[in-house]
């Protein structure tokens, strides 16, 4: 049933773009996922909770990225189809193109986001390779413009889902999309503000992720930790704070991926 509904959505996008009918199909499926009436087979129960906690824009965007990937597969508009193997850059470019079209149709595209976010959410307080962060003193959340450091945009959205499933205390909720002045595609999201008491130690990070089923990967080519299903990377102290309120190590951001390659 889920595969048929996805194929109906994919056919509608292919034949008519993001028409009112197509948007309604996506919204209906998104709402069914959000309210527990159906699910996406790729994710287990915990990961599915991470998907839902990211909000309707994340679910819709992920569905659209699945379409963009499937569009490379001749005669097959199912995300399970493995007949064609396009390069990652081709998939990424297609996903960015199609996701922007969908976001514009849904009024989730913000072409001058930095100015808008500064006005409504406060000044930019940090900028790293992965994200620009906006925050107004006293607010309970920060706003981030997060760029993709993954092979494809779909993988970047998947990483938000997996982060939410592992670290619900700092879950990311998607509110829109944009391109910055350098042309980089960015996902706009909110995240709980964490007052940093200090940076976590390596031992504290080891203990935190061990409780979630991960083990130190030693010299694992940049992969810090490995579990039965997922990799964790970039788990250095600058990304893991000791929360001033709970006194617990808290992951703000990391790189998280499925172990099994598609």
Using alpha carbons, select from 144, 116, 111, 119 the residue that is nearest to residue 129. 144
Structure confidence by residue, pLDDT tens digits, 141-187:
999 999 988 999 999 999 999 999 999 999 999 999 999 877 889 99
22-56: per-residue pLDDT in tens? 999 999 999 999 999 998 989 999 999 999 999 99
- Does the pLDDT at position 137 exceed 60? yes
Pairing of strands 172-179, 185-192: antiparallel
pLDDT category of residue 223 using cuts at 50, 70 and 90: low
CATH class of the domain defined by 113-192: alpha beta
Question: How does residue 219 score in pLDDT terms, banded at 50, 70 and 90?
Answer: low
CB 180 within 8 A of CB 114: yes
* The token pair that represents 129 in the structure block: 């390779």
Mean pLDDT value of segment 219-232 = 80
Angle at which helices 20-34 and 2-16 cross, to 10°: 150
| Domain chopping of the chain, boundaries | 2-105, 113-192, 196-258
Q: What is the mean pLDDT of the chain?
A: 90
């Amino acid at each position: 049933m889920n595969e048929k509904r996805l194929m109906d959505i994919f056919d509608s996008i292919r034949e008519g773009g993001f028409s009112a009918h197509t948007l309604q199909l996506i919204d209906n499926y998104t709402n069914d996922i959000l309210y527990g009436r159906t699910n996406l087979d790729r994710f287990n129960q915990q990961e599915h909770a991470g998907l839902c906690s990211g909000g309707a824009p994340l679910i819709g965007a992920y569905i659209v990225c699945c379409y963009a990937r499937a569009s490379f597969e001749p005669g097959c508009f199912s995300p399970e189809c493995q007949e064609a193997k396009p390069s990652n850059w081709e998939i990424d470019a297609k996903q960015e193109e199609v996701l922007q079209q969908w976001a514009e149709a849904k009024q989730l595209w913000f072409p001058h986001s930095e100015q808008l976010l500064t006005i409504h959410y406060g000044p930019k307080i940090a900028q790293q390779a992965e994200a620009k962060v906006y925050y107004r003193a006293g607010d309970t959340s920060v706003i981030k413009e997060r760029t993709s450091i993954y092979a494809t945009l779909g993988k970047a959205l998947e990483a938000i889902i997996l982060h939410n499933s592992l670290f619900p205390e700092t879950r990311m909720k998607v509110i829109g999309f944009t391109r910055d002045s350098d042309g980089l595609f960015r996902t706009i999201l909110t995240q709980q503000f964490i007052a940093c008491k200090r940076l976590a130690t390596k031992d504290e990070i080891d203990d935190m992720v061990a409780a979630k089923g991960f083990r130190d990967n030693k010299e694992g080519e940049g992969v810090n930790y490995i579990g039965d299903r997922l990799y964790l990377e970039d788990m250095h102290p600058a990304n893991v704070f000791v929360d001033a309120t709970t006194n617990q190590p808290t992951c703000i951001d990391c790189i998280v991926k499925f172990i099994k390659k598609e």
